[in-house]
Amino acid sequence: MWKPIIITITLMCSAFDAYITSRQRAVLSRPNPPPVLATELSQDAFSKSQAYGRAKVSFSLWNTAYSQVLNVLFVIYDVLPRLWGIAGAMTVHAPARFSGEKSQSVVFLLVMLLAQHLLDLFPAWYSTFRLEAAFGFNKQTLGLWITDMLKSNLLVCVLLPPVVAGFLAIMQQAGDRFLFYVWLFIAVLQAFLITVYPIFILPLFNKLTPLENGPLKDKIEALAKSRNFPLDELLVIDGSKRSSHSNAYFSGLPWKKHIVLFDTLIEQSTQDEIVAVLAHELGHWELGHTIRLFLIAQVSCTCTHTHIYIYLANFALQAQIMFILVPYWLFFTTASMYRAFGFVDERPPIVGLVLFFDLLLPLQMVMKVTINRITRMYEFDADAFANRLGYAPDLARALIRLQIKNLSSMDVDRWYAVCNYSHPHLTERLKSLGWKPNKEDTPVVPAAEKEADTAIATGKDEHGKR
Ligand SMILES: [Zn+2]
């Protein structure tokens, strides 16, 4: 009876998701921009952003449907116990050191991730080389795309075994104190990843160079100094290698921070706008958002391409929360659950974790909505901070410019935003920044520039992380 429950839950969740997405599709079919942006946008730029938004939404609907069909087939055909068996067969003749449950779990996860990866290959290729390319955003060559993929898979192979081994060791030895030790383990893992990410992982994918001397550097340094921000290095990242998506973020340890600017941001914005964006980021730091949302901030601001990091960090984020660990513990101890999925004699904890995450879908949705709500609140706070420092007009102009260059949706359905947006929509931010559309003013992006197809987009999300 567990099987139908899991299938029903997943299907209900995707149906809900599809409904919300279709609401957004309706917004993306509107003929005119919202009044606050009317003077900033040419009709042509608006229509193009609507078309791009619709293309992305349709793709996401198809992609969800595809993965749901796969999910259901996985459950019906007992793919997990089969994979577990395969992993067992692969490790049974291995030397004693490499056999046993830990090795079997590692091989199981690697085989499962590989299978998932292969099944996702076509949608991923389509998104980059068809959808993004059709709107002139993709900057990746097929060669770079493949090398990125190989590198991230290699990273998974290196990082996964010790993590799985650690998790299983805790499961075996911690007994009743499992919750506490797993939480501790995840917290340490998190701190470790955040420390090694900029030093070892990021350079595998991108090149960082110090920002050259000049007025931009002076302005940023002056801003950092005025807020006592422990700025160690000011770097530029070659984001243009993959897409023209623009961004800026902080990284590093609490006492030694780096500011990283995307080369695309420098190319697309004026210096004052860049400084205003950093004033907003500094707001996150000074108001303690980065510490309070330690992980979320790191994930949302630093990751634009490395799947592995997102995967691990997401896992950590999900699992860190006790109300997920508690039900997992209950699940793990429920023999009938395992039996229903074809595990009669054994209850491998790793398989339980995989199954459990399926069952958790509605809970994950609730969590996402909650976290979105918190991050949106923080975004408003950081905007207000930049406003207090006198950067409101430049920040507003920067946001408008990036929105247009990104062809991000100019309008949003309320419920779609609640479920999916970690940042408030541009129109809301402009309102809270006190931006007044002024017909006499020149638009932020002049008409000639609007036509130039400079835009952006990684396809990852459209409400840029700023
Ligand atoms: Zn922000």
Contact (Cβ atoms closer than 8 angstroms) between residue 152 and residue 307? yes
User: Which CB contacts under 8 angstroms, 24+ apart, belong to 297-303?
Assistant: 298/194, 298/197, 298/251, 300/375, 300/422, 300/465, 301/247, 301/249, 301/250, 301/465, 302/197, 302/198, 302/202, 302/249, 302/251
pLDDT at position 389: 94
Max CA distance (Å), the chain: 78
Give residue 465 CA to ligand 1 midpoint distance, Å: 6
Which residue out of 17, 273, 379, 383 is catalytically annotated? Answer: 383
pLDDT at position 451: 41
Give residue 32 CA to ligand 1 midpoint distance, Å: 28
461 tagged catalytic: no
**Residue written as token pair 């630093």:** 302
Per-residue confidence of the chain (466 residues) as pLDDT tens digits?
A: 778 887 888 888 889 999 999 999 999 999 999 888 888 888 888 999 999 999 999 999 999 899 889 988 988 888 888 888 898 888 887 777 767 788 888 899 899 888 888 999 999 999 999 998 998 888 889 999 999 889 888 888 888 889 888 888 888 887 777 777 877 787 788 778 777 887 888 888 889 999 999 999 999 999 999 999 998 889 999 888 887 666 777 777 777 888 888 888 898 889 999 999 999 988 888 887 766 655 443 333 333 333 333 344 444 454 445 556 666 777 777 777 778 877 877 888 888 777 777 666 777 777 778 778 878 888 899 999 999 999 999 999 999 988 888 888 889 999 999 998 888 999 999 999 988 876 555 566 655 444 444 333 333 333 334 4
Give residue 460 CA to ligand 1 midpoint distance, Å: 17
Residues 8-47: b if buried by 16+ CB within 10 A, e if exposed: ebbeebbeebeebbebbbebbeeeebbebbeebbbeebbe
Tell me the CA distances in angstroms from 426 to 112, 342, 402, 404, 417, one per residue in order.
39, 49, 10, 11, 11
The residue type of 366 is V
Give residue 246 CA to ligand 1 midpoint distance, Å: 13
Give residue 382 CA to ligand 1 midpoint distance, Å: 6
CA distance 19 to 76: 25
User: DSSP readout, 197-216?
Assistant: IIIIIHHHH--EEEPPSSHH
Closest CA to 241 of 463, 458, 4: 458
pLDDT at position 220: 94
Give residue 466 CA to ligand 1 midpoint distance, Å: 4
Give residue 49 CA to ligand 1 midpoint distance, Å: 22
**Percent helix, strand and coil across the chain, each to the nearest 5:** 70, 5, 25
**Residue written as token pair 């243009």:** 240
pLDDT at position 242: 81
pLDDT at position 142: 93
E strand or H helix at 82, and its extent? helix 79-92
pLDDT at position 349: 81
- How many Cα atoms occupy the beta-carbon half-sphere of 236 within 13 Å? 17
Give residue 283 CA to ligand 1 midpoint distance, Å: 8
238 tagged catalytic: no
Helix (H, G, I), strand (E, B) or coil at 318: helix
pLDDT at position 423: 87
Sort strands 231-237 and 256-262 into parallel, antiparallel or unpaired.
parallel
pLDDT at position 438: 66
* Nearest 10 degrees: Cα torsion 31, 36, 37, 38: 60
β-sheet bridge partners, residue 138:
243
Give residue 281 CA to ligand 1 midpoint distance, Å: 6
**Residue written as token pair 């507003």:** 396
Give residue 189 CA to ligand 1 midpoint distance, Å: 25
E strand or H helix at 153, and its extent? helix 142-173
Which residue out of 101, 132, 281, 411 is catalytically annotated? Answer: 281
pLDDT at position 440: 55
pLDDT at position 343: 80
Sort strands 208-210 and 248-253 into parallel, antiparallel or unpaired.
unpaired
pLDDT at position 454: 38
Closest CA to 316 of 170, 443, 194, 161: 194
Give residue 360 CA to ligand 1 midpoint distance, Å: 28
